[in-house]
């Protein structure tokens, strides 16, 4: 079953290396597919280079799609990470 949710990038510097690294670490060893869609580009969220390729700035809207085992749990964790600015507060 697919789970889809839109999130907003709240980080001052956008979706840069630090949050991208945290996303990849969070998705390590999970048994589900995780895709991010920004504008016309859909990427595998388990790849740091793909995340950085999005070049999502502050206030960008990203659609997260998860499918497979743990899909709902992983989606909740990702939404929480975006909401909490990946621990970065400016």
12 is catalytic: no
Tokens read off for 84: 């909490």
Q: Please answer whether residues 35 and 65 qualify as being in contact, where contact means their C-beta atoms are separated by less than 8 angstroms.
A: yes
Q: Which of 16, 43, 46, 78 is catalytic?
A: 16
Q: How many CB atoms lie within 10 A of CB 45?
A: 25
- Lay out the sheet containing 2-8: strands in order across: 2-8, 61-68, 32-38, 41-44
Please list the active-site residues: 16
């Amino acid at each position: 079953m697919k789970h889809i949710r839109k999130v907003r990038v709240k980080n001052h510097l956008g979706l840069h290396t630090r949050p991208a690294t945290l996303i990849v670490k969070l998705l390590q060893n999970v048994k589900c597919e995780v895709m991010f869609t920004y504008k016309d580009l859909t990427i595998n969220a388990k790849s740091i280079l793909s995340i950085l390729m999005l070049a999502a700035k502050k206030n960008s809207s990203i659609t997260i799609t998860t499918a497979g085992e743990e899909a709902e749990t992983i989606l909740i964790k990702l939404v929480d990470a975006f909401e909490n600015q990946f621990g970065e507060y400016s």
